Structure 1
Amino acid sequence: MKSANLVSAFALLATLSAVALPHPTFAAEPASAGAPMASTQAATPTYTAAQFFDTTSYSLANGGPNTFSPDGRFVLISSDKTGVINTYAQPVAGGEPVQLTTSTTSAARGVSYFPDDARILFSQDGGGDELTHLFVRAEDGKVTDLTPGEKEKADFFGWSQDGKTFYVTSNARDASAFDVIAYDAATYEKRVAFENTGGFSPAALSPDGRWLVLDKALTSANNDLYLVDLMQAGGEPKLLTPHEGNVAYTAYDFTPDSKAVLIGTDENGEFQQAIRHDLATGQNTPLIQADWDVSFVFYSPSGRYRVSGLNADAKTELTLLDTTTNQPVTLSGLPDGDIGAVRFTEDDSRMAFTVASDTSPSDIFVADLATGRATRLTHALNPAIDEANLVEATIVRYPGEGGVMIPAVLYKPRDASAANPAPAIVLVHGGPGGQTRRGYSAMVQHLVNHGYAVLGANNRGSSGYGKTFFHMDDKKHGEADLRDIVAGGQWLREQDWVADDQVAVMGGSYGGYITAAALAFHPEAFEAGVNIFGVTNWVRTLESIPAWWGAQRIALFDEMGDPATDAERHRRISPLFHAGNIRRPLLVVQGANDPRVLQVESDELVAAVRANNVPVEYVLFPNEGHGFTRRDNRITAQDAYLKFLDEHVRK
């Protein structure tokens, strides 16, 4: 596992895993949300992009026990019911959610209820610029920006146990550093709880508000955690993780009594394992050991329940353990799928969570923990779509360069066979350290529903398969990792149910880079490419990293190379400077407000490829950033993907 800083940095550069790309768009006739389109496969009915994206997204706020309203009647959620993500109060007893924010532009995501009244916190940026501000909505509906700085980026960091204070990370003082700011819950008066002048990233805060864990990147494979006593005036960060060699650490959370911090470390093997660090004695005790990365571990407010998750072959395996019996909790009344986003009430009597699968998007449930009985509160999938017509993924592995086996998530169309071979797409995740994961994707299911096989490749450098695999691409991007994607295309061509002359490559962010690089450096490998806000000029991209990345740039530059010293290699691997080699059709999609991959990246690539007299289609969204949040844009994008692929790949 790379350091928490590096994972965070890659999340910033990518946001999108390959399976989670249901966002970008292109100017095409919007599909009707009415009856399904005429089927291109006789046996399986097909649905329009509009029908897939009329599926409603639901997610739980991250306010811990304050995800529940003080009276317990509601849970705070975010949803795109209106076409733009807004904040809602979902009745626990069932029924329609009550809309609390009314944004028609950028996503307004629910964060938390206040502990003693119906006020809420929510977060919103400026149309995809990722400069998120934290807002409070009063009980009368009045909205106040608590972090109004023009270039400020602020995020909720947690509540104190007594509910009198909430904490925010903010770069208002220094664009490259995030301080921890304490807000009075009654007056909104604020004070600096920790001034970050040491290149740290705030990682975890104890429930009693005393202890702060900081993450400091050293290299792409090595970081340290520090502990600060916020009750001690001028308290200096103290090293929490002394070690030798490359070891990556993650601060998961504190125990409810604030006496220990839960830490992930890969010190003793390939995968991140969980330990308990006692603050009084400094003793480390093994907590969870497995043959996969421990993605998270935390306790319910009273400490009775422990929630943990393993990243098990691109799927989260969640365990809800009752620590009084040391047995997992059994829930009833659930459909098939994976549990996630667990939130408890303050008294641990109830639990809100989501359930999702390859064929069903996340829905929200509430369970009574005394009985284990769960109640479904939402139905996300558009009722016009029969879930039985959607496709479950399978995990496959194919040989990459040097015999390295490449894990991948495969979606095979229902009607594909040797007698009816399907066109196919190699889908590349963002990152570079991301991971293609199982789970519902309207984008993927729509393409598969229209007859395309989708292979979500986890090329070397992907997370989730051990630290050796993760670091195989360090300062070697656009080389063996790219050839792993080319090998994925070749593996598809070798399947008797795939049309061997109809294979495309597609991806977003770093995956968009790999798409453009595949067309530039392996110009015969794919029939076409779909580049969704991909990096095309690494020299410029790395030089234009936003200031608020701060210390995360250390890990990113160690992984990708420092533009001050590695510009020659960055130029060598950048598709823009080799665009004259591109001979296959290209679709490019870009958000004008993207702070990570600037619009000029796509502008210049499109112009360069058009100069080759190669078919190029370009879509620019004036109201989107790095990942698209508006439903109308997502529908337009999806129609564009299918139209482009049908024209240039399907034969």
Structure 2
Amino acid sequence: MKHTPLYLALFASSLLLSACDKTAKTDTTTVAAEAALDSKMAAVPAYTPAQFYATKSYMGNDINHKADALLVASDETGVFNLYKVSLDGKTWTPLTQSTTESMLPVGWFPQDDRVLYKADQGGNELHHVYVRELDGSVKDLTPGDKHKAEFVGWTDDNKFWLMTNERDPKFFDLYSYDSSNYQRTLVYQNNEGYDIGALSDNGRYVALSKERTNADNNLYLLDLQSTDKTPVHITPHQGNVSHGIYGFSRDNNQLIFGSDEKSEFSEAFAYNINEKAVQPYSKADWDIMYIGFSKDNKYKVEAVNADASTLISITELATGKALQLPELPAGDLRGVTFSDDSQYLSFYVNADNSPSNLFVWKLSETKAERLTQALDKAIDENVLVKSEVVRFPSFDDLAVPALLYKPKQASSTAKVPALIWIHGGPGGQSRTGYSPAIQHLVNQGYAVLAVNNRGSSGYGKTFFHLDDLKHGEHDLQDIVYGKKYLQSLDWVATDRIGVMGGSYGGYLTMAAMAFTDEFKVGINIFGVTNWVRTLESIPAWWESFRESLYAELGDPAKDGERLRRISPVFHGDKVKKPVLVVQGANDPRVLQVESDEMVAAIRAQNVPVEYVLFPDEGHGFMKKENRIKAQEAYLAFLQKYL
């Protein structure tokens, strides 16, 4: 369990025996292969980035108090806006009309159709929380220029609770808000740097966590009715144990949390508040991702991260019986949400070859209603591909998991170029599910291997910590051996393999281009290139896990030499192959200067480098127009150099 907030060169012999015959055979083979590939490509419709991103993305599916509408955000207009959606999906009433910033849903008020939502400015991650009144007017509940706010929860007295770092940029304080007039009360001044994890329904208890290292943390219970409001440590343990907060039981008597103390994976435990005792609650063969309860406490929802897919179970608490869902399309369930009376269930179904579509199920009926058609009508879903979970041995025989996307036009007689795709983090995971970026590249005839290198989450704590203080070294070798694996496939063009990734994946991409000669091209999407600067300039609100980051990546004050050694920006002279860099100017995590300097260092060597800079984006691209431009840049670059 984690708690922090894609090489081998093809051997080419210079010894040409029977040169004329060899050349003739090679040319014939090449022509035949290209003809076969062209034939297969013609059989697969090729779609543009604009068509893939015409597909609609949705988020949120909260059911209102009358159980007659959902709160949904859609990016159909180019950025995410909020809609009131009837339960049959026939009526979509716009609630916001933003043209610049995405409006991200929090939820309905519990007794009327006022709405809470949040938004930042140009991707700067300084989110504010807003209320949309019944008359359509909007109020910023957390006004100011340089702070960040997040929603914590509702309590039974109809108060909503927010946390902000306005007092001290490093720490988040907890406030309760009167839902009638929005007057707020400072409930807990967080001077010690705790992370606020959950709030009990009665408003009495707050679950807190505090990082020690990236492998070890503690959980605390804060009783707001106590005289001194001192958090009480509730997870004493020996050695390194990672804990995560799931939430409180509906009766306010238990805190449900995850722990890897007794397993490689996160198991669920219950802390009994009255008895001050911990009991096992639930376990699985993989990490338990979350546990939640319907508002009327009739059902429990549990999610497990099973080999990069999400398995959802819904249990009736009174009987212990599993709720049998109606027939649904293949895919993972996401965002499972009950109405207040548990008569309705809303959720999304998502698959590799099908973007998230919204469903509503009335539990008394046998069929769930599908409310959306997310995939653009121009795209035939049957043309899209499903990933295959594969594993390959790395340099030390470690089995490295990955998701393999094989283009439909690929075969042993029609070999295709390939890309290794590296997720962010460190500590992230490439998971099954729809990705327009991956599907577009595969549709264009590029194989994709999404590698979950050592240090990825989801495969046990030992695997997760294998890259600690070894970043850009052992995990980079996993990427090298991912290339070896691709070269073992008879449908891959072994001399046409590139690497790409975002954030930490962008770092490993640049590391692969600077420290190896294995990949023909690299696409660095807002990747770290100067670890010293990045670790010295982390956002102020990351203060609570600064030491955890240092334990995993290194302390710039103590480990500066090693951090410079693994930072590609100091080794631009070693980059010999074409690189594309894509960056958001407002990125608070990986500053624009990192990409500026990396591009300059490569250009100084007269190596082809292309640079796409979005002035209105941050760490990730929210605007559909920019996502299309980025995807067009990926394709043009790959068509030119790979």
State the TM-score bracket (shorter-chain normalisation).
over 0.9
- Give the structure 2 partner of residue 144 of structure 1: 139
Q: Alpha carbons of 1:625 and 1:499: their partners in 2 closer, same or farther (altered >3 Å)?
A: same
- Give the structure 2 partner of residue 591 of structure 1: 584
SS of residue paired to 2:42: coil
For 1:507 and 1:324, how far apart are their aligned partners in 2?
A: 46
For 2:248 and 2:211, how far apart are their aligned partners in 1?
A: 21
**TM-score normalised according to structure 1 size:** 0.92
Deviation of residue 416 (structure 1)? Answer: 0.7
SS of residue paired to 2:354: coil
Deviation of residue 215 (structure 1)? Answer: 0.6
- Give the structure 2 partner of residue 600 of structure 1: 593
- Give the structure 1 partner of residue 254 of structure 2: 260
Q: Are the counterparts in 1 of residues 256 and 270 from structure 2 also a CA contact under 8 Å?
A: yes
- Give the structure 2 partner of residue 54 of structure 1: 54
Which of 508, 516, 520 matches 1:527? 520
For 2:260 and 2:607, how far apart are their aligned partners in 1?
A: 47
For 1:110 and 1:602, how far apart are their aligned partners in 2?
A: 32
Deviation of residue 39 (structure 1)? Answer: 8.9
- Sequence identity of aligned pairs in percent? 51
- Give the structure 2 partner of residue 449 of structure 1: 443
Query: What do residues 138-186 of structure 1 show as CA deviations (whole Å, max 9, x unaligned)?
Result: 1111111110121110011110023x20000110111000111101101
Higher mean C-alpha deviation, range 499-508 or range 99-108:
99-108
Query: What do residues 326-384 of structure 1 show as CA deviations (whole Å, max 9, x unaligned)?
Result: 22212224222111111111111111111111111111111112335311111111111
For 1:319 and 1:90, how far apart are their aligned partners in 2?
A: 26
For 2:86 and 2:439, how far apart are their aligned partners in 1?
A: 30
Mapping of residues 79-478 of structure 1, within 5 Å = 79-162=74-157, 164-371=158-365, 373-478=367-472
SS of residue paired to 1:214: strand
Q: Are the counterparts in 2 of residues 428 and 507 from structure 1 also a CA contact under 8 Å?
A: yes
Which of 523, 530, 544 matches 1:551? 544
Q: Are the counterparts in 2 of residues 39 and 45 from structure 1 also a CA contact under 8 Å?
A: no
- Give the structure 1 partner of residue 29 of structure 2: none
Query: What do residues 281-334 of structure 1 show as CA deviations (whole Å, max 9, x unaligned)?
Result: 123222221110011111111221111111110111111112233222122242
Higher mean C-alpha deviation, range 564-573 or range 227-236:
227-236
Query: What do residues 459-483 of structure 1 show as CA deviations (whole Å, max 9, x unaligned)?
Result: 1100000000000000110101011
Query: What do residues 104-141 of structure 1 show as CA deviations (whole Å, max 9, x unaligned)?
Result: 11211111111222211110001100000000111111
For 1:476 and 1:136, how far apart are their aligned partners in 2?
A: 45
Deviation of residue 536 (structure 1)? Answer: 0.5
Say whether 1:71 aligns with 2:93.
no
For 2:150 and 2:262, how far apart are their aligned partners in 1?
A: 33
- Give the structure 2 partner of residue 488 of structure 1: 482
Which of 634, 637, 641 matches 1:644? 637
SS of residue paired to 1:362: strand
Higher mean C-alpha deviation, range 177-186 or range 89-98:
89-98
Q: Alpha carbons of 1:529 and 1:40: their partners in 2 closer, same or farther (altered >3 Å)?
A: farther
Q: Letter of the aligned partner of 1:420 in structure 2? A: A
SS of residue paired to 2:414: coil
Q: Are the counterparts in 1 of residues 40 and 414 from structure 2 also a CA contact under 8 Å?
A: no
Q: Are the counterparts in 2 of residues 427 and 455 from structure 1 also a CA contact under 8 Å?
A: yes
Query: What do residues 482-514 of structure 1 show as CA deviations (whole Å, max 9, x unaligned)?
Result: 111111112111211100010000000000000
For 2:139 and 2:368, how far apart are their aligned partners in 1?
A: 36
For 2:377 and 2:351, how far apart are their aligned partners in 1?
A: 16
- Give the structure 2 partner of residue 611 of structure 1: 604
Q: Letter of the aligned partner of 2:476 in structure 1? A: L
Deviation of residue 646 (structure 1)? Answer: 1.1
For 2:380 and 2:174, how far apart are their aligned partners in 1?
A: 47
Which structure ranks higher in relative contact order (CA pairs < 8 Å, sequence separation ≥ 6)?
1
- Give the structure 2 partner of residue 33 of structure 1: none
For 2:39 and 2:267, how far apart are their aligned partners in 1?
A: 48
For 1:192 and 1:70, how far apart are their aligned partners in 2?
A: 28
Higher mean C-alpha deviation, range 453-462 or range 114-123:
114-123
- Give the structure 2 partner of residue 621 of structure 1: 614
RMSD value, Cα? 1.3
Which of 574, 579, 583 matches 1:581? 574
Q: Letter of the aligned partner of 1:124 in structure 2? A: A
Q: Letter of the aligned partner of 2:194 in structure 1? A: F
For 2:45 and 2:224, how far apart are their aligned partners in 1?
A: 60
Query: What do residues 546-565 of structure 1 show as CA deviations (whole Å, max 9, x unaligned)?
Result: 11112121211111111111
For 2:406 and 2:63, how far apart are their aligned partners in 1?
A: 40
For 1:122 and 1:242, how far apart are their aligned partners in 2?
A: 37
Rg larger for:
2
SS of residue paired to 2:369: strand
Deviation of residue 447 (structure 1)? Answer: 0.4
Q: Are the counterparts in 2 of residues 333 and 375 from structure 1 also a CA contact under 8 Å?
A: no
For 1:175 and 1:591, how far apart are their aligned partners in 2?
A: 23
The ranges of structure 1 where at least 4 consecutive aligned residues each deviate by more than 4 angstroms after the TM superposition are none
Higher mean C-alpha deviation, range 341-350 or range 129-138:
341-350
Q: Letter of the aligned partner of 1:235 in structure 2? A: K
Say whether 1:632 aligns with 2:625.
yes
For 2:437 and 2:94, how far apart are their aligned partners in 1?
A: 27
Query: What do residues 528-550 of structure 1 show as CA deviations (whole Å, max 9, x unaligned)?
Result: 00000000000101100011112
SS of residue paired to 2:509: helix
- Give the structure 2 partner of residue 28 of structure 1: none
For 1:181 and 1:400, how far apart are their aligned partners in 2?
A: 49
Q: Are the counterparts in 2 of residues 351 and 367 from structure 1 also a CA contact under 8 Å?
A: yes
